[in-house]
Amino acid sequence: MSPSAVLTPLPVLIPLLGAAATMFAGRRPRLQRAITLGALTAVVAVCAALLYLTDRDGTLALHVGGWAQSVPGMGPLGITLVVDRLSALMLVVSSIVLLAVVLYAIGQGIRDGGERQPVSIFLPTYLALSAGVCNAFLAGDLFNLFVGFEVLLVASFVLLTIGASTERVRVGISYVMVSMVSSMIFLIGIALVYAATGTLNMAELATRLDGVSAGTRSALFAVLLVAFGIKAAVFPLSTWLPDSYPTAPAPVTAVFAGLLTKVGVYAIIRAHTLLFPSAGLDKMLMVAAFLTMLVGILGAIAQSDIKRLLSFTLVSHIGYMVFGIALSSRLGLAGAVYYVTHHILVQTTLFLVVGLIERQAGASTLQRLGGLAAASPLLAFVFVVPALNLGGIPPFSGFIGKVALLEAGAQNGSVLAWMLVGGSVLTSLLTLYVISRVWTLAFWRPRADAPEGHMASAAPSVLLDDTEDIAVDERDDVGRMPVAMLVPTAALIAVALTLTVLAGPIVAYSERAAAEVLDRDRYITAVLSGATP
Amino acid sequence: MTTLLVPLVLIGGLTSVGVYLLLERNLTRMLLGLLLIGNAVNLLILVAGGPSGNPPVRGRITDGHTTTADPLVQAMILTAIVISMGVAAFVLSVIYRTYRLTTEEEVVNDPEDARVSQLTDEELEALDEARPAPDEARDTDEPDELDALPGLEGSR
């Protein structure tokens, strides 16, 4: 074990200990905030260090508790944590997003929160969610991946139903049921994989699955793909997402939209490259990607609530990532990795901006919004930059990611790949249409012209949705946008812009990550060399 | 590996009853369905671990078995049981909350989804088209980017 492998459990350990500490500090909000910020800043630092170390020294593996020593004929029995370039990149981006969103939530709570906000629950749960996300990215065996999923799901149940209003409880039930069904399917997949191979360690599995017959392999991959597909919201399994995300408080929706689906995408990448490199489901994945893109974006066109609209674009852009994965070429995978990074940042930022819109204008639906560009040019600016980025306007990172994917599709050259190339271009155009529709309606048109423009919610809502509708004129002046909410949003925009400014090094890094992921032997030796002392 | 038929039939039966219950709209039944599926999956993991044998403790022999039972599956099932217990407690509290709020315990459809799908063409147009054309006569020469917009003409 190399000394730097000591760092690998920290992204899980720090938030979990932080969650416990914030629980104890439940009656002291300032201490709670300090612990949360300290823990998440430490996670960012550790993840950045891991990114640097893995890029320099190669894959890091840690067998927790020294359970590496394997019985002959068995893989490593204990929990294995593995960091390679792909998971290090995911960890860094997620930890940055987690820190920015919690800053935003804290700023919102300080400015608008009253006595009754359930803050003492929010921060510990948020930290548990962070631990779950990091654990899923670090997991080196299937069952630990399952545990990571469960930790983040259970935390997300609490965050989604926070305050337990009628609407959130309604949404929470279907979200819990769908998530649990996907977890059960995942567990069935784990049982079947274990029955077929006798191990769950991914590196050991990768070597043993080659000996399993092709049909069994495809069947196993299909079961896991359904489980991950529900989590990642790939088309036929995506309908739960636009229903459940929009009702949560703005920072919660932002972090869900940014991270939870991407954990599913990450799991698909791992399963597709490491475990089942030639399982023969690529065509099906391509069709699913195509439908995800188009059905998602067509759904977005029909919406009038900005949060719902963004949830549909979220579904649609998952299609791009699945497209890159399904090509199973190095270029396609590199494009997918870059696109995941870009999309985590942009989608989170957009939901944070919607939170700002909701605070300033008292509504998030296009039926009520109007005149925002005149009311607050700054708000218009922070909306339009990530929005154009999502739409893929050059020189933003959305454009770079899409070009990489289109290039990979063209290189593949099959009919399906060309269809997907066409589908991506069309989706990109339609995304632009959706964005410009929000822009013209919410930002340019005078509020008096909006069908329900005279109505607004009475006060900015923080974590509870307990506000009622009143006439706009009677709404108290909410003041300027709080700096503590604006700065994290602007910081995320800045990070997303670095993806453009430093596009060369970052694309090169994604290509190295993709090459490393496709070269299974490196992963296998990194994990198993520590297993035989 | 030989497998016994009885556990497999049991797993199939539990899963199908679970799926049937999960498709109900009544929340308590949905939870029961989820728990049944969970139990079926735990059994499946147990079956995947191979035949029964001695407890996985060194030097302990029961019933004259010659092999040791797989300890890994037992650890996994324990984890899965704990997780499903936690989730069941959470779902029960949410069901109770639903009952308190609405005196019903059923899943209802997404109202916003229904609303969007039932918009008439006129309503859709009202949403998108309620923009009067800018009045050029009221446009000023002052350098103001927004002054061509309806409602803001000559804002300086």
Q: How is chain B split into domains, by residue range?
A: 1-56+66-128
Say whether the peptide bond before residue A395 is cis (omega within 30 degrees of 0): yes
Q: What's the mean pLDDT in A284-292?
A: 92
- For chain B, count helices (H), then strands (E): 5, 0
Q: What does DSSP assign to residue A320?
A: H
pLDDT score of A364: 84
Establish, for the pair of chains A and B, how many residue pairs have beta carbons separated by less than 8 Å.
120
Name the residue with higher pLDDT: A151 or A446.
A151
ipTM: 0.86
3-state helix, strand, coil in chain A (%, to 5): 75, 5, 20
Q: Do A305 and B130 touch (CB under 8 A)?
A: no
Percent of chain A surpassing pLDDT 70: 96
Mapped onto helix, strand or coil, the DSSP state of residue A365 is strand
pTM metric for this prediction: 0.89
Q: What does DSSP assign to residue B69?
A: P
Topology of domain B1-56+66-128 in CATH is Helix Hairpins (1.10.287)
Of B87, B116, B150, the CB nearest to A302: B116
Q: Is the pLDDT confidence value at A7 over 70? A: yes
Mutate to test the interface with B, among A153, A167, A184 (most CBs of B within 10 A): A184
Q: How far is Cα A267 from Cα A271, in angstroms, rounded to an integer? A: 6
Q: Is the pLDDT confidence value at B81 over 80? A: yes
Q: How far is Cα B18 from Cα B32, in angstroms, rounded to an integer? A: 7
Of A165, A191, A437, the CB nearest to B48: A191
Nearest in space to B46 (alpha carbons), one of A80, A224, A188: A188
List, in sequence order, every residue forming a beta bridge with A62; answer none if it has no partner.
A81
Of B1, B90, B150, the CB nearest to A157: B90
Q: How confident is the model at residue B127 (pLDDT cuts 50, 70, 90)?
A: low
Q: What's the mean pLDDT in A103-108?
A: 87
Query: How far lies A162's CA from each of A26, A115, A503, in Å?
Result: 16, 15, 39
- Average pLDDT of the residues of chain A: 87
Q: How far is Cα B80 from Cα A66, in angstroms, rounded to an integer? A: 23
Sign, CA dihedral A243-A248-A253-A255, equals negative
Q: Is the pLDDT confidence value at B136 over 70? A: no
Of B48, B80, B112, the CB nearest to A305: B112
Contact A217, A276 (CB under 8 A): yes
pLDDT score of B135: 58
In this structure, how many other beta carbons lie within 10 angstroms of the beta carbon of residue A353? 28
Q: Do A308 and B22 touch (CB under 8 A)?
A: no
Q: What does DSSP assign to residue B141?
A: S
Q: Do A195 and B86 touch (CB under 8 A)?
A: no
Least confident of A124-133, A411-420, B104-113: B104-113
Q: Is the pLDDT confidence value at A375 over 70? A: yes
Q: What's the mean pLDDT in A345-370?
A: 88
Q: What's the mean pLDDT in A250-278?
A: 90
Q: Is the pLDDT confidence value at B144 over 60? A: no
Q: b vs e for B59-76, b when ≥16 Cβ sit within 10 Å of the residue's Cβ?
A: eeeeeeeeeebbebbeeb
Q: What's the mean pLDDT in B32-53?
A: 89
Chain A residue nearest residue B117, CA to CA: A302
Two tokens, residue A101: 């969103």
Q: pLDDT tens, A38-79?
A: 999 999 999 999 999 888 888 888 888 777 666 666 667 788
- Which residues does chain B have within 8 Å of residue A451's beta carbon, measured at their own beta carbons? 123, 126-127, 130
Mutate to test the interface with A, among B58, B72, B122 (most CBs of A within 10 A): B72
Q: Do B151 and A448 touch (CB under 8 A)?
A: yes
Q: Is the pLDDT confidence value at A135 over 60? A: yes
Q: What does DSSP assign to residue A273?
A: I
